Chains A and B, each alone.
Chain A
Amino acid sequence: MIEAKLARLSDAQPGERFRIATLNIEGTMKRRLLDLGFVPGSEITVLQKSPLGDPTAYRVSHTTIALRKEESDHIYGERIDNE
């Protein structure tokens, strides 16, 4: 399992950047996420969580998109250290 070594997007905190490695999900939800810009290799910035912690707003290729945890749970990758 590669996923074991990778972080979930849902675990990244506001202010952090995240590079997507894989989407561990199939079907229309995967297609939807890809269309929204959550594609492997792309860099995501975690903007902010909503008051109740879910959903979370992400910056993805010049657009702000909010995902619920049930979606961001399936997105794996690595957190990029802020230099």
Chain B
Amino acid sequence: MNKREYTIALAGNPNTGKSTLFNVLTGLRQHTGNWPGKTVIHAEGFFTYKNEEYRIIDLPGTYSLYSNSADEEVARDFIIFGKPDVTLVVLDATALERNLNLALQVLEMTDRVIVCLNLMDEAKKKGMVIDIDNLSKKLGVPVVPLAARNKEGIEELLETIARMVHGKIQTKPIVVSYSRAIEEKIAKLLPLVKEVVGEEYPARWVALRLLDGDTSLLHALQHQPHHLLKGGPNYACHCSAKSI
């Protein structure tokens, strides 16, 4: 039996119930090991759904993925370089305004995203009503309501994950548009970025990071064992765009 194992990444703000969801998914059959990654502990577990094996990585809880801290760097690097089959973004349904920031950032990095609206029980208690279908339509990816600690919504989530890994769900992530000046610079950078990174990494996202002057990403790109950076001059380093 040489079945494929699918990799699922769990991202989310701190205190959104990410680890609760992780524990529910990996359940009793977890071979969960916590070990130091770079400087940050992350957890990895396994589960089986409909005879298929899944590996799930609990990324550090962060408000952002712009590598302002080791946590954010670990989370970002895993999504970009680990290329999970699906990234679950766990949101606190009672604080969407805050939590959607991270969701939008992840959607710029990959189109294989399922948004998990966790703590729906709390939201209900507070009398909040969330238009799930509309949110899903706007974000362009599936949105699954959950109350992970009561194990509500888990079955639907598993089914959505399975459909996504089998290519049965077409997503169309929302594209955040920036000011004209920035969009013009992105357009200018895109061909160069594509030439350097090819299809390996999301070109628009890389262009945005270059405009940000994100040196830690450049560093990470250069030290990837499997990166496809072509030889010769490294365009990336010369594209610092502090000019905006």
Interface of A with B (CB < 8 Å)? 27-28, 31-32, 35-37, 61-63
Contacts and interface: CB of A to CB of B under 8 A. Distances in A.
Interface in B60-84: 63-64, 66, 68
A32 B68 contact: yes
B64 A63 contact: no
A31 B66 contact: yes
Interface in B85-111: 92, 94-95, 97-98, 101
B63 A61 contact: no
A32 B95 contact: no
Contacts, number: 28
Contacts of B98: 37, 61-63
A62 B94 contact: yes
B95 A31 contact: no
A32 B97 CA distance: 16
B68 A61 contact: no
Interface of B: 63-64, 66, 68, 92, 94-95, 97-98, 101, 212-213
Nearest to A28: B68
8 contacts: A32-B66, A35-B101, A36-B63, A37-B63, A37-B98, A62-B95, A62-B97, A62-B98
Contacts of A35: 63-64, 66, 68, 101
Q: 9 tightest CB-CB pairs across the interface, nearest first?
A: A35-B64, A62-B95, A61-B98, A32-B68, A35-B63, A31-B66, A61-B97, A28-B68, A37-B98
A7 B92 CA distance: 32
B75 to A, nearest CB: 13
Nearest to A63: B98
A17 B137 CA distance: 35
Given A31-B66, A35-B101, 8 more contacts: A28-B68, A32-B64, A32-B66, A32-B68, A36-B63, A37-B98, A62-B98, A63-B95
B95 A61 contact: yes
A71 B94 CA distance: 27
Contacts of A36: 63
A35 B97 CA distance: 11
A31 B101 CA distance: 12
A31 B68 contact: yes
A11 B97 CA distance: 26
Contacts of B64: 31-32, 35
